[in-house]
Structures are given as C-alpha cells and as structure tokens.
Amino acid sequence: MQNTTGYQRLIRLLTVLFWVIAIIGFSYVLIVYLYPFFIGLIISFIFIPAVNFIEKNFGWGRTSAVFSVILAFIVIFTAVISLLVVEIVAGLSYLTKELPHYIQDAFEKIHQWFDSVIIPIYEGALALTSQLNTEQQTTIHQSIERLLGDISVRLGNIVQNLLNGLADFLLSLPNTVTVLFFALLGAFFITKDWPVMIQWIEQRTPKKVKILVNKMIKQWKHAIVGYALAQLTLVSITGIIVYIGLLIIGVEYAITTALLIAIVDLLPYLGTGLVFIPWIIYAFVSGHWPLTIGLAILYAVVIIQRQLAEPKVMSKHMGIPTLALLITLFSCYQFFGIFGLLIGPAILVFILSIIKAGVIEEVIGYVKGSPR
C-alpha cells in the first residue's frame, strides 16, 4: 500500500514538473523567438477594455470595434512620433545656429583653464624633473606618454562605441517596423478572438485552477496599480525637490524646468541625469562655478532621495516587503545588470502572487494526494 502511495505521489510530482517546464519553455519561446506576438498580446490587453466598451455601448460588431480602436491607436502613435520628429528637427535647427557659439565659448574657457592651471603645473613638473638624473627623467616621461596614450585610446573607444551604437540604431529601424507590424496584426486577431479564446480555455480548465488564476490576476492588477501610484509619488517628490533647489540656486523658469526633469525621471536607466549631467558640464566649462556647484549638489540630493525612497514607496503601494524588494533588486542586478532593476519588481510580484493565491499549498496537496 505504501509503495503504491509513493508511486502515485512520484507520478503527480513528475506531472507538476512537466507542466512547470512546459510553461517555462513556452514562455521562453514566446518571448525570445515570437516576441512580436508577445508584444501583440500585451497591446491587446490595452485594447480589450476599449473594444468591450464600444461593443457593449454602441452595438458595433467586434471586428469593427477592434479595427476602429487599432486605427485610433495608429493615428495617435503616428501623431506622437511626428510631433517628436518635428520637435527634434526644430531642436537640431536651433542647435546648428546656437551650438557653434557655445562650442567657441567652451573652447575659450578650456583654453583659459589650460593657460591658468595646466600649463603652470606642467612647467612646475618640468622644473622638478630637471633636477632628477637622466634615468629618472626617462621613467617619468615614459609614464606620462603611457598615460596620454591610454587616455587617447579610451577616448577613441568612446567615440567608436557611440558611432557603432548610432549605426546599430539606424540598422534596427527596418526590423523595428517589421516587429511593430506583426505585433499590431497579432493584437488585432487576439483582441478580435479574445472571447472565443477565453471560452475555449475556461471549458478545458478545472474549476480549482480557474479560482487560483483569478486570485493571481487580482494580485497582478493590485501590483500594477500600486506600481503606477509609486512612480507618480516618486516623480512628484523629485519635481518638488528640483523646484525648491532651482529656486534656491536662482534659475529662471524653475517650475517649467522642474516639470521637465520630473517627466524625464520616468525614463529607465537615464532619469534626471539626462538633464542634469549635460547642464552641469556646460556650467562648469562656461565658468559658472556657483551654478555648477548648486546643480551638482541638487543632482546628488535627487539621486540619494530616489535611491532611499524608491524601495519604501514601491513596497508600500505594491504591498511588497521592503527587505524582500531590496534583495530581489540586488539579485536581479547581479544576474541581468541594469535591466534587472526593471524586471526585479515584476519577478517578485509574480512570486508573491503565487504564494498569496495558495498555489504552492494546492500543488503540495495534489502531490500528496490530500483532498482540498
């Protein structure tokens, strides 16, 4: 009897492992090789509420409703891209007129800095080395040459990487258009056939599994809303700090600049540094020392408060323990680099949703054969 029970538990355990591996394998193939349709699936989740609303309140057919929503999306997306292109062209046109003056001014400042700082240091170093013997002078000159050579090589690598990145970006544009086309096409058919797909899945899904999935979806919705509120809170804090800092520094149009920096703070990886770093460099090169120091201090305050507040704010709004979020963020950063800081909260939310929905208890009960 015990052997039979053990054999049944082993079969159930292997069944669970098979489905786990199958789901992971399917997800891997979908994300890595069929990612346009994965993107289409995500887009369809955005379209479905609007399509359902039009179908229910206006009596349209589902195909017409889906077509109208996607058409509206394409029009809005094209308008936004066109507006961005127009703004970029206008900005480049402005830069072509104003940038030469700024560059000339920057070079004059650098030249003055070299004359007043670097050249006296160099002359002092020459006077010091002239008192050394020939072998020591040769060693120092070789060290300086190696240092300058390393600097030139690194600068060359930076320029080459920038040019390679620009070339890769331009080469990726046709592929991006193709991916977007298939993603929209997939979103159209997924959204159109969504009720049929859901009905087909529900008819073949056990009731207990449907209950667990509904609990997990409820947790995901709560986490998504919480994430949006957390980002809004963090952006608001950044905007207020930047506004107060700019007022103290005495920058004109402080509220407009603070709003711009707050919006840029939403960008992953770049954040406020996209505005602050070029601004600080220009202020330094232009010789505006009080502005340079003030912006550098303000940027440091913004970064520190973001790093300190982000885990606590996200854990509060998303219902995630702060320590668990910190451990997940650090672990994902070790495995995936900067990208891990983005997917870390999503991974933790997925794991916690499985735990809170009781999936683990159900699986253990199934393997043991215990009635639940």
- Residue 299: both structure tokens together: 């940027």
CA distances from 262 to 259, 266, 283, 342 (A): 5, 7, 21, 18
pLDDT at 270: 66
pLDDT at 21: 92
Q: Give residue limits of the domains in the chain.
A: 34-204, 206-372
Q: Which residues of the chain are modeled with pLDDT < 50?
A: none
**323, burial (CB in 10 Å: exposed 0-12, middle 13-18, buried 19+):** exposed
Closest CA to 60 of 51, 71, 49: 51
Q: Could you read off the pLDDT of 201-246 as tens digits, one per residue?
A: 888 888 877 888 888 888 888 877 888 888 888 889 988 999 999 8
What predicted TM-score, i.e. pTM, was given to this entire model? Answer: 0.66
